[in-house]
Amino acid sequence: MEEQNNTQDILNQVHESTPDTLHPILDYIIKNGKMIAAGVAAIILIAGGVSGFKYMNQQKLIKAQSEMGTILIKYSGAKQAEELSAFEKDVPASMKPAVQLALAKAWMDAGSYADAKAVWAAIAKTSPEMAPVAALGQAKCLMLENKAGEAVTVLQKMKESAGASYASSINRLLGEAAEKAGNAQVAIQAYQALLTSSPQEASFFEFKIKELKAKI
């Protein structure tokens, strides 16, 4: 009886450590099988298969991280962007956001703002939680293309939906973009918001507000 209890405990532990998709197989063995050779073999194969799958995924991720590091060190500018673009196609899903961020930066460093904006748009689509970061990237590209007015539109739209943690970054770039676009009122509002969120820079923002009000 004690041996049967030990066997049941082992089976239960294996059951808890395997994915839900494998539970029907294990349930059958646990409910109907005694500790016979076939049952033991099945459990070992299942457990071994799961462990092997996890190991292979881990090794694939480590290899991909190494390859990405090599690209970032070995190349720069447009060449780096081209290498990252090719690398992204087969990268593990968990690394895709990091590769896309590096790719967007590489295109920006190369002055290829249209390509960078396309990557920022892809980031916002595939990783919704990164949408505020993508909006900041797109807005910066637009400013570098001397399209400050469009940058203001992008930032104002994102400001409505982004969380408080992004407010300072958005207002900082919004103030700069609005000022560059000649929209003093929007710039003043952005800098006024920064007086509260970034008090350590209050003197600078007060100066900007005073300067902009003089132009109205």
pLDDT digits (tens, 9 = 90+) for 21-41: 444 444 544 454 444 344 445
For the stretch 46-60, pLDDT in tens is: 455 545 545 456 777
Percent of the chain at pLDDT exceeding 70: 74
Closest by CA position to 158, among listed 171, 141, 176, 177: 171
User: pTM of the full predicted structure?
Assistant: 0.69
User: With contact defined as beta carbons under 8 Å apart, do 30 and 10 qualify?
Assistant: no
User: What is the number of domains present in the chain?
Assistant: 1
Both tokens of 143, joined, read: 């400013």
User: With contact defined as beta carbons under 8 Å apart, do 123 and 130 qualify?
Assistant: yes
Is 30 among the domain residues?
yes
Structural domain span for residue 28: 1-74
Is 25 among the domain residues?
yes
Is 173 among the domain residues?
no
Is 213 among the domain residues?
no
- Measured between alpha carbons, how far is 71 from 99 in angstroms, rounded to an integer? 11
Q: What share of the chain is helix, strand, coil (3-state, %, to 5)?
A: 85, 0, 15
Closest by CA position to 51, among listed 63, 40, 62, 43: 43
Is 23 among the domain residues?
yes
Q: Taking 50 as the threshold, does the pLDDT of residue 196 lie above it?
A: yes
Is 52 among the domain residues?
yes
- Measured between alpha carbons, how far is 94 from 113 in angstroms, rounded to an integer? 26
Both tokens of 126, joined, read: 């595939």
Is 66 among the domain residues?
yes
Asked whether the CA dihedral 155, 161, 163, 167 is positive or negative, the reply is: positive
Tell me which H or E stretch contains 179: helix 167-181
Is 46 among the domain residues?
yes
